[in-house]
Structure 1
Amino acid sequence: MARTKLYILRHGEAQMQAATDAARQLTNFGRRQARAQAACFKPELALVEQVYVSPFLRAQQTADELFAELSGATNACRHEAAWLTPDVAIEQVIRGLEPVIAGAPVLLVSHQPLVSQLISFLSDTPVWQVSMDTASLAYLEVSVLAKGLAELKSITPALVPR
């Protein structure tokens, strides 16, 4: 059975306050974090065909920085996905992902606690062992979207020192 490369990126550092949680913007540091991950993983991310992004502003801005850094290196289609907001149920994410796990690499841009919970669910790694600080990038291989059937290959923390 074919295995799909699934990348999960947590948004970069965001403002602490805004009118709503969904309206929180990336800080300049958060923008640098997102670009650094894209630059480091350019060969891998250039192969991604579908990018699903939370509608929250900080995730959208993270995707903007990613696409700017990958400019010309990718033809990925970008989709806004309401099933990637911070507190959505894992079952909703699985339903959203089912149609796209078909062999081509996929990238999700989302939030805590969802990213850690999703990685834990798919890989059967205890959630407390899944460290996804801002701009962390996880890489999994999955053939079936079910509990414990993905292989967690790596988690790369943000590459821009504070």
Structure 2
Amino acid sequence: MMDLILWRHAEAEDTAASDAARQLTARGRKQAQTVAKWLKPRLSHDAVILASPAARTVQTVEALTDQYRTVDSIGPGATPQAVLDAAQWPNGLASMVVIVGHQPTLGLVASQLLAGQSTEWTIKKGALWWLANRDRNGSGQCVVRAVISPDLA
């Protein structure tokens, strides 16, 4: 079984020198801290955390830990397959992989895994979707373990 946590970056400023340079707003920093506080005690000891190199995703993940890697292939505009490849879904880079990334990519990943097709599902800023794969009667299934938004964490 593998746990895959899709965590969308928290609220960021609308403009900056470049899209990659956009920083979290004060509200975004609070969102990231709130969700990180909920997630931290639930992380497995061997969790692998991968973040887009964009400033807003790095700031989001740093509310949780400094033990993460940035991965260019999951940056803004990434394909759902790039996210799945980075996590090595369904067998797993580790038993738990956290991806800190962007919309619409994360919503497309969630819809592909849960509904079998890529549809633009919305993941709220700062929210996370915790998915898991499991073997049920000889076939793989993807199940939702939790969906947490910053205002409910």
Would you call these one fold, judging by a TM-score over 0.5?
Answer: yes
* Residues 37 and 104 of structure 1, relative CA distance in 2, 3 Å threshold: same
Identity of aligned residues (%): 27
Q: What does 1:1-162 align with in structure 2 at a 5 Å threshold?
A: 3-45=1-43, 47=45, 49-67=47-65, 77-98=67-88, 101=92, 104-124=95-115, 127=119, 130-143=121-134, 149-159=141-151
- What is the rounded CA distance, in whole Å, between the counterparts of 1:104 and 1:13 in structure 2? 29
Q: Unmatched 5+ residue regions in structure 1?
A: 69-76
Q: RMSD across aligned C-alpha pairs, in angstroms?
A: 2.6
Asked whether the 8 Å contact 1:30–1:135 carries over to 2, the reply is yes
Structure 2 residue identity aligned to 1:65: A
CA distance in 2, matches of 1:48, 1:109: 17
TM-score using structure 2 length: 0.83
Give CA deviations for 1:34-62 in whole Å, capped at 9, x if unaligned: 11011123221354521000000000011
Distance 1:102 1:23, change over 3 A: closer
Please list every run of 5 or more consecutive structure 2 residues that lacks an aligned counterpart in the other structure: none
**Residue 101 (structure 1) shift:** 0.5
- CA 1:97–1:53: 2 relative to 1, 3 Å: same
